[in-house]
Amino acid sequence: MVQKYIIALDQGTTSSRAVIFNHEGMIVGKAQKEFAQIYPFPGWVEHDPLEIWDTQLAAIREVLDQTDINPDDIVGLGIANQRETTVVWNRFTGKPVYHAIVWQCRRTTELCEQILNSTLNEYISDATGLVADAYFSGTKIRWILDHIPDGQAMAEKGDLLFGTIDSWLVWNLTKGRLHITDYSNASRTMLYNIRELAWDDKILSYLNIPRSLLPEVCPSSLCCGVTDSSIFGAEIPIAGIAGDQQAALFGQACFTEGMVKNTYGTGCFILMNTGKNMIRSQNKLLTTIAWGIDNGVEYALEGSVFIGGAVIQWLRDELGLLKTSAESEYYATQVKDTNGVYIVPAFVGLGAPYWDMHARGIVTGLTRGANRFHLVRAALESIAYQTNDVLALMAKDTGIRLKALKVDGGAADNNFLLQFQADLSGIPVERSEICEVTALGAAYLAGLAAGYWKDKEELKCLSKGRFISDSNITESERQQYLSGWKAAVSQATYRTV
């Protein structure tokens, strides 16, 4: 009997991956292609959408060649993508009209502040579950239409299409036959009403964004179409789509209300499954759609930390304190503490729970005795502090005592970081044995729709992980750490914390 497989695309902020999974949920092969980061001005971040497509296509072809798997034996394709990143393209030529504006980009801060000071602010929070911030797609679309020749006129004529990266990939995979997104990605645009499950006319009107730009919104687990046969020599069903963080939540098998995961990637993204309950945070966390499945949607609370693992890349690439990111674990363990040093990596402002677009990174507590080991340790600790800020408020919002934190992402390989996280948060930290959890979640969603796996119960049996450690510090020590962190953040923020 011929073995069948699922292929998952994990289109991230710095690279495009393609991963093939078998029925046991194990990785059969994977390929990865990096692409350029474009920084036109301070605080601006862009990608070339054509390069994203080229690298994603190259990764797919490489993993198929590497494994010698026939495309006819791929029963479903799942997509996980960097969220909020905004592409606008011409529906007739298929060419982008501007670079993709990346989720990290802060260029629309001024417009967001206008919204924050308007009567629409509370409505956006209630309808979309988000806050008015440059992070989300809505104001990025407005900026593109304002800064390309005849942008608004072309949009009103119906010549332009908008999509997050999943939409852009599906458009190219189907040679322009499908312009779709899923519930999870739609919920990250600041244009989608997560109560009514529809694009919101009031917000669209305020931003003057024609509805004709927007993709059709589909369930996250659904055979919605097939790839064009000319691309791979076979029509592969496109059966799963989810924003990368929701995909990771699914890949961690966080199917039960109250389960929490954190992905330590470029940023940190902490999500708690809240099931059918759309919980409105009283503490500046986001309410978002986790996924659309089984003829309905499930929700999540989310805290988005903009700079997570990227702070270690900064030490490596900009300051030259490290040769590789992996060295950070060794350096951090060479000193017993940070010698009073705190780093607040607010390089692109601060996300949850501060939502300060003007905050900027600082290093505080420096004395003559501070050295590179202290700085590296402080950088790693900053990732755990930011995560803890969110975890504490999730527990407060829901009344649920967190039993464990499931973790994945590149920085989750760092044992020092995970131990400090367990110490700081007072809960066990569980690291997945499968490193490609985001891709796994996309594969799970596609596999369910394609009938490759029967149901979530079967997926739970595939889930693997192990506990790293419980907290081993006293409550007094924990409070001392947190007090120092709060003081450091207060110095980095534009508004009073």
pLDDT in tens, the chain (497 residues): 579 999 999 999 989 999 999 999 999 999 999 999 999 998 899 999 999 999 999 999 999 999 999 999 999 999 999 999 999 999 999 999 999 999 989 999 999 999 999 989 999 999 999 999 998 999 999 999 999 999 999 999 999 999 999 999 999 999 999 999 999 999 999 999 999 999 999 999 999 999 999 999 999 999 999 999 999 999 999 999 999 999 999 999 999 899 999 999 888 999 999 999 899 888 889 999 999 998 899 999 999 898 999 999 999 999 999 999 999 999 999 999 999 999 999 988 888 888 887 888 999 999 999 999 999 999 999 999 999 999 999 999 999 888 889 998 888 889 999 999 999 998 899 988 888 899 999 999 999 999 999 999 999 888 766 666 777 788 888 899 999 999 999 888 855 44
Residue 476 marked ligand-binding: no
Q: Say whether 309 counts as a known binding-site residue.
A: yes
Q: Residue 493's pLDDT is what?
A: 81
Looking at residue 467, its pLDDT comes to 60
pTM, two decimal places: 0.89
13 annotated to a ligand binding site: yes
Known binding residue 444? Answer is no
The answer to whether 365 is a known ligand-binding residue is: no
Annotated ligand binding at 133? The verdict is no
Residue 466 has what pLDDT?
Answer: 67
Is residue 135 marked as binding?
A: yes
pLDDT at 237: 97
Residue 43's pLDDT is: 85
Cis peptide before 353 (omega within 30 of 0): yes
pLDDT in the model for residue 144: 98
Asked whether residue 15 is marked as a ligand-binding residue, the answer is: yes
CA angle 313, 317, 319 (to 5 degrees): 105
- Nearest Cα to Cα of residue 4 among 78, 70, 67: 70
Q: Is 84 within any annotated ligand binding site? A: yes
Q: Are 264 and 412 in contact (CB under 8 A)?
A: yes
Residue ranges of domains in the chain, CATH in brackets: 3-242 (3.30.420.40)
Q: Is the C-alpha dihedral spanning 327, 333, 335, 338 positive or negative?
A: positive
Select from 487, 6, 456, 481 the least CA-distant residue to 251.
456
pLDDT of the residue at 496: 44
Was 14 annotated as part of a binding site? yes
Residue 360 among known ligand-binding residues: no
Q: Is 70 annotated as a binding residue?
A: no
